[in-house]
Structure 1
Amino acid sequence: MDTRIIILSDNRTDNPLLETEHGLSVYLEYNGRKYLLDTGASDLFMRNAEKLGVDLGEVDYCLISHGHNDHIGGLPAFLEVNHKAKVILSSEIPGAEYASVRRYLHSITGNVDFQKHGDRFVFIKEDSYVDGIHVYSHLAHHHAQPLGDRTLLIKSDDGKFVKDAFRHELAFVVGDILFTGCAHNGILNILESIREPVRLSIGGFHLLDSHLSEHYETDEQLRDISSELARRYPDMDFYTGHCTGEHCYGVLSEKKGLQLHQFHCGDEIGIG
């Protein structure tokens, strides 16, 4: 059984022919099916897909990890070129408004018309099994969530922006591949929530590099996370990028026994 993973949208690339953005989109082939994992912030993932020889019109399922624009922003463009894929996402997303106060106050709400393609959406409220895809909506909270979450807000029923609890975040398992999106609930919490064997995890960790007056995880806290990952999941490969900062990745990767890899836009991860 062959598995093929291609990074279509990310903050970084080693390929001068590809574009980058603050967004994440991943193409996955598994057991004869084709999946799109998030859609980045724009239609950039589509332009990169064309250059990489990926036919997005053949995608069977689009999996949306959460409602932020850098993961759902390209969805309207995808739905115009793909006429068959079902889109699996949280029922918390339609109508929600998100904002970030990192660096400055700005909206991070995706501009998706959920009425236009209403028959394409599969809204998830509970942990579910959809045509071979395990969808996890109830994620554990035994470990600390990333400190970068404190800069992320959601509009409450009374119209005020409050701290986002990330009830709109989903984790997906296709076969033995885990997709975490940004892991806003924390990579350790997500892994504790998964009920089947997983050999590869792909997605961001939302561990941000400190910048000027903005301070996030210390090196000691990062080493605690990497130690737990290595101890609990020694046989799992972790591919991360997007919202995992360069410094954070460097500290995490120091841990012996942790199979950690950084992905870049255009990377292909082949697994036999």
Structure 2
Amino acid sequence: MKRTRLVVLSDNRTNNKLLQTEHGLSVYLESPSGKYLLDTGASDLFIRNAKVLGIDLADVDYCLISHGHNDHIGGLPYFLKLNNKAKVILSEAIPGTEYASMRRYQHSITGNVDFSQDKKRFLFVNESTNIGAVNVYANIEKRNPLPLGNKSLLCSDAYGQFIPDNFTHELAFVIDGVLFTGCAHSGILNILQSIDVTINLSIGGFHLLDSYLAQTYETDKQLNTIAVRLHEDYPRVQFYTGHCTGDHCFEVISQSYNIHIHQFYCGEEILLASK
């Protein structure tokens, strides 16, 4: 019996004093089909934590980038220096696009990646496809409401002007029954409805932010609606979320129904049996 192993390398939380945290997300996945790095966090922190945890990132076969924000792609230059073989799968909309957040104040959230270097390493996609054992999902249909946290996020258009981000640069991935959502800016329900393969586990953010003072996001009623859908439509899926999922939002969803949902943290190891 083979197994699938996931280890969270970069996140906002940890219970391991030997590990560091940041506002970023990176997950190591080792499965029957290969070794994968799911996003690279905001810095080289994921590499430093991997060393502490005894994970050799030089052996990774593919690096999957969910979207162009710095907290998910910022560590990519460090990974490319460490690993000289892995292909990087990402949206073709990312190079040349600037990203900004208006939350609290306008600031850049663009990843500092030089795509003119290591050109042969990048696999740019603009539509759903399969690359090796990786099911790549692009242009996710927006049938359900998008996370309200998106309202403060911008991207540059063809004229260099900032406009509301429509997240055409966001990808979701399924590898050996594991769904990686990144931040799920397209909405966790929209992503789940867009994939066409069976999954056992979903890992990544829900982009459900806790309301604070004048910054208001999903109400408890809206969170409960999401919880109902997860409970009714995906009863067998194990959900692991963190990073951009607020503590209050997680509490409401996890306590609403009998959903298999967990709040991940930096250093957590998840094991799944595989046939």
User: Which position in structure 1 is the counterpart of 2:77?
Assistant: 76
User: Which position in structure 2 is the counterpart of 1:23?
Assistant: 24
- Kept in 1, the 8 Å contact 2:33–2:133? The answer is no
- Kept in 1, the 8 Å contact 2:33–2:176? The answer is no
Whether 1:153 aligns to 2:157 is: no
Deviations along 1:38-94, whole A, 9 cap, x unmatched? 000000000000000000000000000000000000000000010000000000000
> What displacement does 1:32 show?
4.8
> What displacement does 1:138 show?
2.2
User: Which position in structure 1 is the counterpart of 2:247?
Assistant: 246
- Kept in 2, the 8 Å contact 1:230–1:255? The answer is no
Instruction: Give runs of aligned pairs for residues 183-222 of structure 1, distance below 5 A.
Output: 183-222=184-223
In the superposition, the TM-score normalised over structure 2's length comes to 0.98
Between 124-133 and 68-77, the greater mean CA deviation after superposition: 124-133
User: Which position in structure 2 is the counterpart of 1:226?
Assistant: 227
> What displacement does 1:164 show?
0.2
Instruction: Give runs of aligned pairs for residues 10-159 of structure 1, distance below 5 A.
Output: 10-159=11-160
- Kept in 1, the 8 Å contact 2:21–2:266? The answer is yes
- Kept in 2, the 8 Å contact 1:147–1:216? The answer is yes
Aligned residue for 2:261, secondary structure, equals strand
2 CA distance for matches of 1:99 and 1:140? 23
> What displacement does 1:158 show?
2.2
Structure 1: stretches of 5+ with no match in the other structure: none
Question: Which one-letter code corresponds to 2:183 in the other structure?
Answer: C
1 CA distance for matches of 2:271 and 2:185? 27
- Kept in 2, the 8 Å contact 1:223–1:252? The answer is yes
Question: Which one-letter code corresponds to 1:224 in the other structure?
Answer: T
2 CA distance for matches of 1:187 and 1:159? 30
Deviations along 1:212-232, whole A, 9 cap, x unmatched? 110000011000101111010
2 CA distance for matches of 1:136 and 1:43? 27
Aligned residue for 1:201, secondary structure, equals strand
> What displacement does 1:243 show?
0.2
Which ranges of 4 or more aligned residues in structure 1 deviate by more than 4 Å?
none
1 CA distance for matches of 2:62 and 2:188? 24
> What displacement does 1:140 show?
1.6
Aligned residue for 1:181, secondary structure, equals coil
Between 35-44 and 138-147, the greater mean CA deviation after superposition: 138-147
Deviations along 1:179-230, whole A, 9 cap, x unmatched? 0000000000000000011110000000000111100000110001011110
1 CA distance for matches of 2:238 and 2:33? 22
CA RMSD of aligned residues (A): 0.7
Identity %, equivalent residues? 60
Structure 2: stretches of 5+ with no match in the other structure: none
2 CA distance for matches of 1:153 and 1:169? 14
1 CA distance for matches of 2:105 and 2:267? 30
